[in-house]
Amino acid sequence: MNNSEAILLLEDGSTFRGQSIGIKGSSVGEVVFNTSMTGYQEIITDPSYDSQIITFTNPHIGNTGVNLEDMESLKIHASGIIIRDIGVSSNSWRKTDTLPNYLKNNGIIAISGIDTRKLTKVLRTTGSQNGCIMAGEIDLDSAKEQIKNFNGLDGKDLAKKVTTNEVYPWKEGLVDIYHRHDQKKTEISFKVVAYDFGIKHNILRILEGYGCELTIVPADYSVDKVLNMKPDGVFLSNGPGDPKACDYAIDNISQLLSKKIPLFGICLGFQLLALASGAKTVKMKFGHHGANHPVMNLVNRKVFITSQNHGFMVDEKTLPDNLKPTHTSLFDNSLQGFDIKGNYAFGFQGHPEASPGPQDINSIFEKFILHMTEKRNASK
């Protein structure tokens, strides 16, 4: 593997030298760390990582190559990849290519061979920093200038960048992707419109598995057009960037709340639902990125291990009286879920669809189904 030299430069001047495992060039973004032990392909194709450079704390990445099933979107959205060690070889019966080839074919700047443990300690101490990966011809002055010109994620609307440009149906379920011939597809019971702020494929597969006929719409799709589809419920997806910058989405969600249509928000969708209800969001020091995050259900005190990926959070102190906290993080006590009293609306900050990670809290999708059922019965 003939890898050229590469460097990672952080805005505080910290410099890490390694080898390039992607294309030559440079890329700038917010440097974060992810603690997941598995699922690197699902992570780098998650649209929520747009404009971010991912540091994998697991030292060995690429061992199983890449495949066609583990893509959470149609391309890599991360601005760059940082790993400790790239495997000399990769093996899996599902493998279609190696990770380095996949990165190069997608035009991604990536670096390996650096001390990711030291880097993670820096980021935990200082908080997420803007940084630049440069591969091939190294020019530190140019890297510094690129970092200086990158404004970070505060105030940045990235949902419009990653969203779909057109309305389309989604019909693929877990039965299809994993070829479970012993299982039958669930009969369609509910019409659901899903706002795409950067939606992951596995969320859609799970909703399809619960009998939802899904229509995906752009992030700024008008409420009137959504209502004309006569949905049983509306799903608000995950996505990248600062939720406060998505004023069009906040306004749309406010209108949907007034119609008392069942709403379910995940990640960015959770934050937008909170903003539309009168709460506030804040930037986190280094965010939650990983698949080992314990979350407690405040109703029954059960603890779930969850997947997380967010750099902003809902400030629980700003919740209006009609928002009831339902889940909390046992890492830092940040808000992880709420119900909206007098409405069929709720949200969850983490990723119950996993991909990658544990599926402990996958059953929260059933709450959305229950709300749509209750609303339908109340309308009879």
Tell me if 191 is assigned to some domain: yes
Options 30, 327, 353, 371, the catalytic residue: 353
Asked if pLDDT for residue 178 goes beyond 80, the answer is: no
Tell me if 355 is assigned to some domain: yes
> Pick from 149, 168, 191: which residue ends a domain?
149
> Pick from 101, 121, 149: which residue ends a domain?
149
Q: Name the least confident of 99-103, 209-213, 376-380.
A: 376-380
Q: In the annotation, is 267 catalytic?
A: yes
Gap between the Cα atoms of 359 and 362, Å rounded? 5
> Pick from 117, 149, 181: which residue ends a domain?
149
Cα 41 from chain centre? 13
Asked if pLDDT for residue 179 goes beyond 70, the answer is: no
- The region that residue 363 occupies, defined by phi over 0 for left and psi between -120 and 50 for alpha, beta otherwise, is alpha
Would you place residue 184 in the very low, low, confident or very high pLDDT band (cuts 50, 70, 90)?
A: low
Gap between the Cα atoms of 139 and 144, Å rounded? 9
For residue 311, give both structure tokens.
Answer: 């750099």
Of all residues in the chain, the percent with pLDDT exceeding 70 is 96
Return mean pLDDT, the chain.
Answer: 95
Would you place residue 2 in the very low, low, confident or very high pLDDT band (cuts 50, 70, 90)?
A: low
For residue 102, give both structure tokens.
Answer: 């996949």
User: Could you count the other beta carbons within 10 Å of the beta carbon of residue 89?
Assistant: 8
Options 288, 293, 310, 351, the catalytic residue: 351
126 shares a domain with 53: yes
Q: What is the mean pLDDT of residues 217-221?
A: 98
Tell me if 352 is assigned to some domain: yes
The pLDDT score that the predictor gives to residue 187 is 81
Tell me if 165 is assigned to some domain: yes
317 shares a domain with 214: yes
The pLDDT score that the predictor gives to residue 8 is 98
Beta strands at 281-297 and 323-329: parallel, antiparallel or unpaired: antiparallel
Tell me if 366 is assigned to some domain: yes
Whether 322 and 313 have beta carbons less than 8 Å apart is answered as no
344 shares a domain with 212: yes
Domain limits for position 55: 5-149
Q: In the annotation, is 137 catalytic?
A: no
SS3 sequence, the chain? Answer: CCCCEEEEEECCCCEEEEEECCCCEEEEEEEEEECCCCCHHHHHCCHHHECEEEEECCCEECCCCECCCCCCCCCCCECEEECCEECCCCCCCCCCECHHHHHHHCCCEEEECCCHHHHHHHHHHHCCEEEEEEECCCCHHHHHHHHHHCCCCCCCECHHHHCCCCCEEECCCHHHHCCCCCCCCCCCCEEEEEECCCCCHHHHHHHHHCCEEEEEECCCCCHHHHHHCCCCEEEECCCCECHHHCHHHHHHHHHHHHCCCCEEEECHHHHHHHHHCCCCEEEEEEEEEEEEEEEEECCCCCEEEEEEEEEEEECHHHCCCCEEEEEEECCCCCEEEEEECCCCEEEECCECCCCCCCCCCCCHHHHHHHHHHHHHHHHC
Options 267, 288, 310, 327, the catalytic residue: 267
Report the domain count for the chain. Answer: 2
302 shares a domain with 213: yes
Asked if pLDDT for residue 175 goes beyond 70, the answer is: no
Tell me if 189 is assigned to some domain: yes
Whichever domain contains 353, its CATH number is 3.40.50.880
Q: What is the mean pLDDT of residues 260-276?
A: 98
Tell me if 19 is assigned to some domain: yes
The pLDDT score that the predictor gives to residue 304 is 97
Q: What is the mean pLDDT of residues 296-318?
A: 97
Whichever domain contains 114, its CATH number is 3.50.30.20
171 shares a domain with 121: no
223 shares a domain with 117: no
Tell me if 253 is assigned to some domain: yes
Q: In the annotation, is 351 catalytic?
A: yes
- Residues 6 or more apart from 300 whose CB is under 8 A from it? none
What type of residue is 13?
Answer: G
User: Could you count the other beta carbons within 10 Å of the beta carbon of residue 342?
Assistant: 8
The pLDDT score that the predictor gives to residue 188 is 79
How far is it between the farthest Cα atoms of the chain?
Answer: 68
List 290's β-bridge partners, or say none. 308
